[in-house]
């Protein structure tokens, strides 16, 4: 580890953001990747707009929420001031929330089943707003977790792209909490590569550096920026 820049103190949100950006840069350098190829998504779920305002002041522009309702409540006023704010939906999406999600979010990370893909295709056509989508893969094959099964991923990707013409840009995963994340990141990378997809949404507070070394283009970091949450929202 190199020395962190002096402004990267963990005492402030700006300091924690600086430290994380530094760690991303180091992991990228280790893997001979460009740090600019990695987008840091600040996951602000359960935290109030004030925390987002603090992050915006520190130059952060990409934010993640895992509930449509919470995103709709928190960001409209902030977007007026920061039109370059990019809002990522990283939590499960119910088909009855698709209309709102498409209206309020900019990127969807959790496309994971045919019924959702069809609803998104309808809403994109209706609204004229076509959001880039990541397909979520349940790399750990956990029954309680969202995501298409790894063995179904190729067919699902093809269906989304070829039949439904969805703007699929990459793959996303949430490895099982109790396992080494690296094999899951490597599996996601492999599935993306053989399908010609070059964006990977993977890595959270505890493992974003590993994810960057294994090719992450989007890391989703919450507690390392904003602090601990009083409840853990569903994955």
Ligand X SMILES: *Cc1c(COP(=O)(O)O)cnc(C)c1O
Q: Applying CB under 6 A, which residues contact ligand X?
A: 43, 45, 66, 90-91, 174, 204-205, 220-224, 233, 235
Compare residues 70 and 159 and give the one whose CB is closer to ligand X. 70
Q: Which is nearer to ligand X, 108 or 204 (CB)?
A: 204
Q: Are 191 and 150 in contact (CB under 8 A)?
A: yes
Residue 152: is it exposed, middle or buried by C-beta count within 10 angstroms (0-12/13-18/19+)? middle
CA distance 89 to 79: 16
For 145, the token pair is 């977790």
CB of 221 to ligand X, least distance (A): 5
List phi, psi (to 5°) of 60: -75, 135
Question: Whole-number minimum distance, CB 139 to ligand X, in Å?
Answer: 13
Matching residue, tokens 């295709």: 121
Q: Which is nearer to ligand X, 23 or 80 (CB)?
A: 23
Shortest gap between Cβ of 150 and ligand X (angstroms)? 18
Taking Cα atoms as reference points, which of 118, 12, 25, 102 lies closest to residue 58?
12
- Shortest distance in whole angstroms from residue 126 CB to ligand X: 27
Which positions ≥6 away from 104 have C-beta within 8 Å?
68, 71, 72, 75, 76, 87
Alpha-carbon distance of 39 to 156, in angstroms, equals 25
Nearer to ligand X, 98 or 204 (CB): 204
Q: Which residue is nearest to ligand X (CB)?
A: 222
- Nearer to ligand X by Cβ, of 18 and 174: the residue is 174
User: From the CB of 9, what's the least distance to ligand X, in Å?
Assistant: 19
């Amino acid at each position: 580890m190199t020395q962190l820049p002096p402004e990267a103190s963990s005492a402030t949100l700006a300091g924690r953001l600086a430290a994380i950006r530094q760690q991303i840069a180091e992991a990228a350098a280790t893997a001979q990747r460009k740090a600019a190829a990695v987008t840091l998504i600040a996951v602000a779920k359960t935290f109030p707009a004030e925390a987002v305002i603090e992050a915006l002041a520190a130059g952060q522009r990409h934010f993640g929420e895992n509930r449509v309702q919470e995103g709709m409540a928190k960001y409209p006023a902030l977007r007026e001031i920061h039109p370059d704010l990019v809002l990522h939906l990283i939590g499960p999406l119910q088909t009855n929330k698709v209309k709102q999600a498409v209206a309020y979010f900019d990127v969807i990370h959790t496309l994971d089943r045919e019924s959702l893909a069809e609803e998104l295709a309808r809403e994109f056509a209706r609204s004229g707003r076509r959001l880039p989508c990541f397909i979520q893969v349940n790399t750990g094959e956990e029954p309680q977790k969202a995501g298409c099964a790894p063995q179904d991923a190729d067919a699902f990707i093809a269906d989304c792209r070829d039949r439904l013409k969805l703007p699929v840009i990459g793959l996303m995963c949430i490895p099982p909490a109790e396992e080494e994340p690296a094999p899951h990141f490597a599996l996601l990378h492999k599935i993306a590569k053989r399908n010609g997809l070059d964006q990977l949404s993977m890595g959270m507070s505890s493992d974003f550096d590993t994810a960057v070394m294994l090719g992450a283009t989007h890391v989703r970091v919450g507690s390392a920026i904003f602090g601990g949450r009083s409840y853990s929202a569903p994955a």
